[in-house]
Every structure is written in structure tokens, then in C-alpha cells.
Structure 1
Amino acid sequence: MTAPHDRRTSWSDAAPVPFWLDTPDRPQARPALDGDLRTELAVVGGGFTGLWTALMAKERDPGREVVLVEAGRVAGEATGRNGGFCSASLTHGEANGRERWPDEYDQLHRLGLENLDEIAATIERYGISCDFQRTGELAVATRPHELAEFDASDPSFLDADALRQEVDSPTYLGGTWDREGTAMLDPARLAWGLAAAAESAGVRIIEHTPVTRLKESGNHVDLVTAAGTITAERVALATNAFPRLLKRLRFHTVPVYDYVLMTEPLTEEQLASIGWRNRQGMADSGNQFHYYRITADNRILWGGYDAIYHLGRRIRPKHEHRPQTYATLAANFFATFPQLEGLTFSHHWGGVIDTCTRFCAFFGTAHDGRVAYATGYTGLGVGASRFGANVVLDLLSGEETERTRLEMVRTRPLPFPPEPFAWIGIQLTTWSLKRADRTGRRNLWLRVLDRFGLGFDS
């Protein structure tokens, strides 16, 4: 049994790969680009935003030529590395949405729920096997000052006893269960299913082909790669955290690394000791928060807490693993579920998230409307990416829709400063958030950020 003060043996033998991608069911890589080609619509990025854009472009116009080009593998980055929480929220939660867009929040909430319904319908229509379960999400308080933020008169509120009837942890003081706003799924299998559906509709998917720059070519846009040029009438950018093909966006997001542990499957006895019969997604309420869920084969995915930013906006493979964070995650896991002492982790991994100062996606166009983008999801892109893809297609069509009339869509967040000021500001913010978790009080720095609608999150 792992000693309480040393959790390293619980994760030291874990496979250093994303659990969702560690399966023989992963599709074979598609060929890279080999020479020049022309298309009506080129989609750059093989994550959720790009896949939804390509598929829905063909659903809107089956005769349109669509090519999707991915620098690595479909679902190889954030799409295949997240927790599998598919949220209806388009605004990174109600509080953020109401604070930023109070006059249209109810509309955004409705659109988010409709978007989640449409995701479920797409999964059913194409027969995508991705363990989609609309179980909702429990938000839990583990400190008295967090509990004070909950409304005990809310019908969704659960006191400590009621909460522990759902999932049993001695750390829980109370929380809420949003029963309709979140589904659990296997994110990689959803992405692979969307890719297969897109290909069956006629989309050509090209992998292992980084696009290095965009340039105008008459009424078209050239996507330049080392293997050839893709000339397109319209371009949808879905590169998220990765290097910007539009210079105007270079300061609007920063790449932040998030880390995850995945346990071995629980025995029936272990599962009974914590309950979790309704298999909700879960998140605690701190600024440095954990998100966790149970998988189809009864593993627990446990992620979050640390959000690590590297000086210079650096994205490197070596940043995908961080022993200090794995140690912290393991210690906090066993503090939350002491009845699972001795359980080991089968996988650990990290991945990069595109965070922006308003915590949710923003949108825009370039090259006289021939290029459109959606980016800045800040960790809640599994569901919101479909909405973002619809916005991108609306913008490329030039038509005004309910989506494009939204203030959320028409405005962009304030940018982060250049280095070294971005790194200094993020370190100060991280330190302040940790302090606020301990004390329950936001210091002057955080209050100033609040005043100007700025922030840092993952």
C-alpha cells in the first residue's frame, strides 16, 4: 500500500500517454499532402473545431469541396487529451457569462443547450460510439468560503449528507448538481467518429502537414506547406493554442499546460465505497480546481489544479509531463478519496490549452472575409467547439444570423501583454489565486483584474 506521505509509487509506473489515444482502435494516419491542390473550403486543424467545421460545411452544402489539413494527427492534441466533459456552456460557466454579457446571457444559455442537444443528435445520426452519457455535473465545495458561494435555496443544491449520498468524500461540504448542462464522453472516439462522418460526406483529410503561412492569391487564399500549396476560396482556422497564422491574434491567447492522471479500473468493492452510481462529472470550486469523472470501464480521470505557463508562450513536447503536478494530483486524489488508498494510476499526461482573458471563445475574419477563426476556448471546447464551428461557417458565408448578431461573437477579449510582462502577470495571478483559495479573499491584484474583466484560467 502506498504510504500516505509518498504517492510517487501510485503513478510512477503509469504510461506517459493520453488514455483516450492509447488504444488499438485509433485510426491509421492519413497521408500527408503531396503536391498542390485547390478547394472551395480549407479547414486548418484536426481537433473538434476543425472537424465540426468540415462536417457541417458538407451538411450545409453537400456539393462543396472541403479539405481539412492537420499538422499532426486528428485528435492528437487538446481534443484527445481532455477530460471528456461536454458542457452546454458557451461562456465558461454562468457567472462569467452573466458578468460579461448580462443582456444576452439567457440567449447564450439557450443556444448552449440547443448546441448540446444537436451534438447528441449528431452522435446518434452517425452512429458514433463515444460513451456519450448526459449525466450532468456536480460542483462541490471543500472549504467553508466556497460553500458560502452556493445558494442553499437553489433546488439543485445538495448539503454535505445529500452530496455524499451521490459521491462519498469526507472533503465535501455541499454543492450543486446541474443535471442537464453536461454530458460525459470519450473525446477521442467522438473526434474519430466526426472524422469518419466527414470523410463519408466527401471531406478530404490530410495529416502530418503543418501550414506555415497564409497569403492572398487573387480572390483566393494560399495555405503554404512544405509539401505543397492548398489554394482555397475560403479558409477556416481551428489551430487554437498552436502558432498563429494571423499576426493580429498573437497576443490574444496564451498556451497553458494542464495535467491528468487516470486510475486503473476500480473493483466492485472500491466503486461501492465511493458510490457514484449516477456517474456525474465533478469539479471542485477552488480557483485551482480539480475536474474528475468515471469512465465506461470504471476508471477515475483526475485532472486540473495546476495551470502552467512557460515564458515566451513556449509549446514543447517536454512540457507535456510534469512530475511535480502528478505528485500534487495524486496527493489530492487520495485526500478526496481516502477509501481508495492503494489504487494506482495507469496513465498520466499533459496537454496545452488556449486561454484568453475572457475565458471563452472569440471569433473573427481576415483577408476580406475569406478567412474566419474561432479560438480561446480556455478548456471548455468539447461542446462549445461545435457552436464555434457554426459561427465560423456563418462568417465565411457573409450572412447575418442569430449567432453573428451576438455581442459575444462581435467582440474580442483584451490581449495579454508581450513578454516578459505576460509571464510576470501570470505568475502574480497564479500566486494570488492560490492565496485566495487558502484565505477566501481576493487581493488587490485580483480585484483590479476583476474590475477590467481580465483573468487567467485553464
Structure 2
Amino acid sequence: MTNSYRHLSFWLDALAASGSDDLVRRPALPGDSEVDVAIIGGGLTGLWTAYYLAKADPTLAIAVIEKHIAGFGASGRNGGWCSALFPASTASLERRHGRDAAIAMRRAMIATVDEVGAVAATEGIDCDFVKGGTLSLASGTVQLDAAKAEVQEAARYGVDAITLVDAPSGAGGSAAASFDPACARLQPARLVRGLARTVENLGATIYEGTEVLDWEPHRVSTTNGTVTAGTIVVATEGYGATPSKTHRSVLPLYSLMIATEPLSDELWQEIGLEHGQTFTDFRHLLVYGQRTADNRFAFGGRGARYHWGSSIRSNYDRVPRVFEHLRRTLGEIFPAAKDAAITHHWGGPLGVPRDWHATASFDPATGIATAGGYVGDGLSTTNLAGRTLRDLILRRDTELTRLPWANHRSPRWEPEPLRFLGANLGTVSMGIADVEERLTRRPSLAAKVMGPLTGH
């Protein structure tokens, strides 16, 4: 099994290539077991929950159950943004929960970025964490107006320290950008794999190569036996879209990425991005990127279609059309990188709730906790989920358990074929919106119509 998972992303491949992690599966569940807390999913949500529970009560017997290896899913494949972004906008949170609750959520998300960095430092997890902020590049009048609106919106709530700045010197066609300091660049596979080892050192057990077949209050059925537990945590995010219990709770939306060869220091000086900086722009079909610790571009975006019945398959991780779109788009944003060789292609599904509103929830009557619906903003939000679930499970009344996402319930997605038609229409509409704005130089009507359906 050595290195059998390295092909899943550049991040995992880099770990294997460096010799720092062989990516070999841990032992599977040996048979029936009884614990205090059983966690389904060995990604960041499950591991952060295990970490904070073990820290709060070292006597707890905690088992993490993972079908593949820790970090197999989005936790080992994402863009490496540890940001304060939440899938529902602050304005949307205010409309639903009120101004004070919306501001509390923003403060919690901003603080979470530093919390991740602090835990990584304390536990000796070398994940290339550098808090360099995010540049949202603005090309053309429509995008510049959007950047100014973002700065004004942040000022209205008085929490986010977003400002308007000059674009990097090598950003083709972009004269300005908004800058949000509340984001760190990191190597996500290093974080999730390091956190898994930390959790084990705290006394929790991680069973890999163990597929969960079903769960109910106080009972998890797997291919290797049954786990009985006082508390069950369902932490599967987009990969939880396929079981019959959850397939309408979250929609698996694919996001794909590329990585370039390492670029020279001279080329980076021309590009103008500093270490630790992440970047995006104001197009509607989302793109995102970072300058990696070894001087590559890691760049990703949407564009892959949703598959009927929330189907998830490994061949969906690679769509040549989308990879070519990403390569071309990176060259448009930073022309100096247009001839850089692409060394890695990868992707995977992220979890989208019907109202684009993430949650961390616990039902004391059943002992079942859930967290997810991050819509790609999970690298930091998973940490907040772990701390929120800790307090909910331990029956604590804290600032975290009073946040508006605690015990939030999203409506279910529509059955097929409505789900298939709506999800793919949304992706197509965002592409149309970008073309519309380039041609008309006015804000897109298509984007305005779709805005309420995407958490804005």
C-alpha cells in the first residue's frame, strides 16, 4: 500500500516525495468495539473534534473511523487557504440571524485563522503556515466596483479589516485589489496528517481502511465490526452525499486544481506575490490560488459539473476541459506564468448545503453530532467546528455554542432530476455571468438572479 494515495493531490504527493509520510494505511478496526465517542471520517472536521475533546477530557475513549486514510478527502486536496471566509455572506447571516449574531460569526471565523496557526506551532505540525492575507484582484470597471463594495461592506460591520490596494505588478489587467489580512497559506496535507498523529498522541485511535455502512444512535456499523458509543460524530462533508441518509443533505460539488513547476525567484519578483499570500478575483465562476512554500502556483476553481444522484467517483476528480481552463486562466491573471509547466492535476468534491450555510450541530437525545457544509471554506471552519462540537457534546454553554451556525438546520436538496438541473444550471450561469460582464461592462443580471441561491 506504500504511497498508493500520493496521486490524489500535489499536497499528498509532496509528502510522499519528501519521505516525511509514507501514506500507508493505519490498521483497520479489528472487530466490535465500545468507546465514548465514535467519529465517522478522518478529515479535518473529525480530527479537530477528536483533538479538542481529548484536550478537554483525556479520559474519553475516542475512535476515528476512516474508509481510506486520514486526509483522503477535501482535507488533503484543497487550495491551502486558511481563511476567515464563511459560505454564507455576512449580509446573509444578518438577514437570517440578526446583526449581532452575524458579527459574532465573523469574529469567530477571524479568530479561527490564528487558532489554527497557534495549534500547529504548539503541537509541532510543520504545515508551512504563513499568514499573508488574500488579494482579490479587480480587472475592469465591474470588478473594481465589486472590490470597492466589498471594502464598504466590511466597514459597515466593523470586523473585517479589508482594504483597497494596488494589484501586484505582474497581475495582467488588474489595477487594484481588495486585501483581507485574515488568511494564511498552508500545506493542507501536512496539516491533516500532522493533526492525525497529534490526535493519536493524545490517546485517540484512528482506524483506517474501515468503511462505515450505517449509523444510528449509539451504534456505527462498519465492514469490520460494530462500534458502540455514547456519542457519534458524522464528519464526512462532501463524501457524505452518497449514503441514503445524507444524500439530500449535502450536494457534492467538484472543485479541481493544478500546480505548476517551481518558478524562479526572478519570476516571482516579476509576478509580485509574496510568500504567504493567496489570491482570487471577482469573477463569478470562482478561482483561487496561492504561492506555495516551494515557489509553485497551486491554482484551482469551479467548472466541473454535478453528477446525477450525487454520484462520487475517482474519475470525476480529473476533467481535462476544466484543467485547461485553469491553465489558461492562470496565464491571464499572471502572464509571466503562462508558459510554466503544469506538474499536477487533481480534484474532489466539496459539500454544499441547500442554503449555503455551514453547521456544527448536536442532538443530545440521539447522541449524534454533525458538522459540514463548508462549500470550500473548510480549512479553517473545520477547526471552529471541532471546538463548537466539543462544547456542544460536553454540554457547555459558551460563546461558540451561541454562534448562529450552532445547531443550524439547512433544508434538503430537491430530488432528481431537479437537483441535477439546478446544480448544473448554477455552474453554467456563473460562466455566462462572467462573459456577460466582459461584454456589457455592467453587473451581470444572471449573477443577480443566482445570488440568493449561493449564500449572498
Same fold, TM exceeding 0.5?
Answer: yes
- 1:91 and 1:77 mapped to 2: Cα distance? 19
- 2:227 and 2:11 mapped to 1: Cα distance? 31
Match of 2:158 in 1: none
Q: Which moved more, 1:143-152 or 1:61-70?
A: 143-152
Q: Report the secondary structure of 1:454's partner residue.
A: helix
Q: Note closer, same or farther for the CA distance 1:456–1:318 as it changes in structure 2 (3 Å cut).
A: farther
Give CA-to-partner distance per residue, 1:168-189, whole Å, 9 cap, x none.
122213211112x101111111
Q: Report the secondary structure of 2:312's partner residue.
A: coil
Residue 439 of structure 1, CA deviation: 2.3
- 2:313 and 2:180 mapped to 1: Cα distance? 37
Q: Report the secondary structure of 1:236's partner residue.
A: strand
Which residues of 2 match residues 43-442 of structure 1 at below 5 A?
43-98=39-94, 100-103=96-99, 104-151=101-148, 156-158=162-164, 162-165=166-169, 168-179=170-181, 181-216=182-217, 221-243=218-240, 249-366=246-363, 368-440=365-437, 441-442=443-444
Q: Note closer, same or farther for the CA distance 1:99–1:431 as it changes in structure 2 (3 Å cut).
A: farther
Q: Note closer, same or farther for the CA distance 1:145–1:354 as it changes in structure 2 (3 Å cut).
A: same
Q: Is the 1:429–1:456 contact (alpha carbons within 8 Å) kept by the matching residues of 2?
A: no
Q: Which moved more, 1:250-259 or 1:201-210?
A: 250-259
Q: Which moved more, 1:181-190 or 1:303-312?
A: 303-312
- 1:272 and 1:21 mapped to 2: Cα distance? 28
- 2:87 and 2:329 mapped to 1: Cα distance? 28
Q: Note closer, same or farther for the CA distance 1:380–1:408 as it changes in structure 2 (3 Å cut).
A: same
Q: Note closer, same or farther for the CA distance 1:435–1:330 as it changes in structure 2 (3 Å cut).
A: same
Q: Is the 2:275–2:291 contact (alpha carbons within 8 Å) kept by the matching residues of 1?
A: no
- 1:247 and 1:138 mapped to 2: Cα distance? 40
Q: Note closer, same or farther for the CA distance 1:360–1:86 as it changes in structure 2 (3 Å cut).
A: farther
Q: Which moved more, 1:30-39 or 1:403-412?
A: 403-412
| RMSD, aligned CA | 2.4
User: One-letter code of the match for 1:376?
Assistant: G
Q: Which moved more, 1:276-285 or 1:237-246?
A: 237-246
Higher helix share: 2
Residue 99 of structure 1, CA deviation: 5.0
- 1:100 and 1:136 mapped to 2: Cα distance? 28
Structure 1, unpaired ranges of 5+:
1-14
Residue 66 of structure 1, CA deviation: 0.7
Residue 92 of structure 1, CA deviation: 5.0
Q: Note closer, same or farther for the CA distance 1:327–1:95 as it changes in structure 2 (3 Å cut).
A: farther
Which of residues 9, 13, 18 in structure 2 aligns to 1:18?
A: 9
- 2:126 and 2:406 mapped to 1: Cα distance? 32
TM (norm. structure 2) is: 0.88
Report how many aligned residue pairs link the two structures: 431
Between the aligned residues of both structures, percent identity stands at 31
Q: Is the 2:136–2:147 contact (alpha carbons within 8 Å) kept by the matching residues of 1?
A: no
- 2:20 and 2:366 mapped to 1: Cα distance? 39
- 2:223 and 2:103 mapped to 1: Cα distance? 46
Q: Is the 1:211–1:223 contact (alpha carbons within 8 Å) kept by the matching residues of 2?
A: yes
- 1:251 and 1:81 mapped to 2: Cα distance? 24
Residue 360 of structure 1, CA deviation: 3.8
Q: Note closer, same or farther for the CA distance 1:429–1:41 as it changes in structure 2 (3 Å cut).
A: same
Q: Note closer, same or farther for the CA distance 1:376–1:156 as it changes in structure 2 (3 Å cut).
A: closer
Q: Report the secondary structure of 2:379's partner residue.
A: helix
Give CA-to-partner distance per residue, 1:363-408, whole Å, 9 cap, x none.
3335824111002110000000011122222232233332222333
- 2:376 and 2:256 mapped to 1: Cα distance? 12
Residue 449 of structure 1, CA deviation: 5.1
Q: Note closer, same or farther for the CA distance 1:91–1:352 as it changes in structure 2 (3 Å cut).
A: closer
Q: Is the 1:86–1:185 contact (alpha carbons within 8 Å) kept by the matching residues of 2?
A: yes
Q: Report the secondary structure of 1:252's partner residue.
A: coil
User: One-letter code of the match for 2:20?
Assistant: D
Q: Note closer, same or farther for the CA distance 1:101–1:284 as it changes in structure 2 (3 Å cut).
A: farther
Q: Which moved more, 1:51-60 or 1:107-116?
A: 107-116
User: One-letter code of the match for 1:18?
Assistant: S
Match of 1:8 in 2: none
TM (norm. structure 1) is: 0.88
